[in-house]
Structures are given as C-alpha cells and as structure tokens.
Amino acid sequence: MGRWLAVVTMACFLLAAASCGTAAREAGMQAIVGLDGDGPWQRFIIKYHPESAAGRDPGAAREKLEAADYADAADGTTGEGFPQLQWQRRLGVGADLFTTAEPLDRDDAQRLLQALSRDPAVQYVEAETMMQALPAGPQRPR
C-alpha cells in the first residue's frame, strides 16, 4: 500500500509541475529555477522556445550563448559582464548545457539566470544540480 501511495503522490506532483510550467509559458513568462545549496555554480541549463532559431538548431544556441555579453544591471544597460559562457551540448530534452569560465557565487549566478531569462527566446534557465534519490523506508528523512 505504501508503494502505491508513493507512486500516486509522485504522479500528482509531476502533473502539477507540468501544469505550472504550461501556465507560465502561456502567460509569456520565462521560468527561473531557484538555486539550491551554497554554490559555487558553473554549469547551467537553458532551454529555448522550439520556434526560435536557438531552439531548433544547437549551432545557433551555441553562437547565441558564446557571443552573449549579458549585463548584470536589471534594466539591461551595460555594466560589469559575466564570465564567458561556453556551450557544451544539446541535451535529450532539447535544452542546452553551458558553463561559465569561472565559478559563480549565489548572487552572480542569480543575476546571470535573470539576465538570460530576459531573452524572449528563452523558455527556462536553471543551474545544473545533481539529483539524488531518497532512501525508501523508515530511515527516510522527514
């Protein structure tokens, strides 16, 4: 019974998460996933809308990321830039993995995510994090 409940709970969670993402896309908003942990962060995932050039072509995504001079000012004016962005590969879900030339602390990583999300071609952007399975049974943390 406990395993069935876990499966049903996970299914509900996934459906809720998918509907939230759909609502955000329909409203024309880009999603920024929050940063977990203390950092530093150097690997990020960005997904471009499928109808954009960068969404259709990994080469266009690479050019867009590596040529970018993202300003850190909220109004988009020029300011202190971020380290060079280096495209790594297109992932199976159609998103792109990229790295920064230098590791970023929490503030710089958040500013980079916000700067990237201002691009209308961006569907979502997040820091790459290691996902871990929780132990099953009574030793599982609550």
Q: Which helix (H) or strand (E) holds 103?
A: strand 96-104
pLDDT tens digits along 44-85: 999 999 999 999 999 999 998 888 665 444 444 334 577 889
Indicate the pLDDT class of residue 26, thresholds 50, 70 and 90: very low
Output the pLDDT for position 126. 92
DSSP-derived secondary structure letter, 127 = E
Q: Whole-prediction pTM value?
A: 0.66
pLDDT tens digits along 93-119: 999 999 998 999 998 899 889 889 989
Please check whether residue 100 is in contact with residue 85, taking contact to mean a CB–CB distance below 8 angstroms.
Answer: yes
Please check whether residue 81 is in contact with residue 69, taking contact to mean a CB–CB distance below 8 angstroms.
Answer: yes
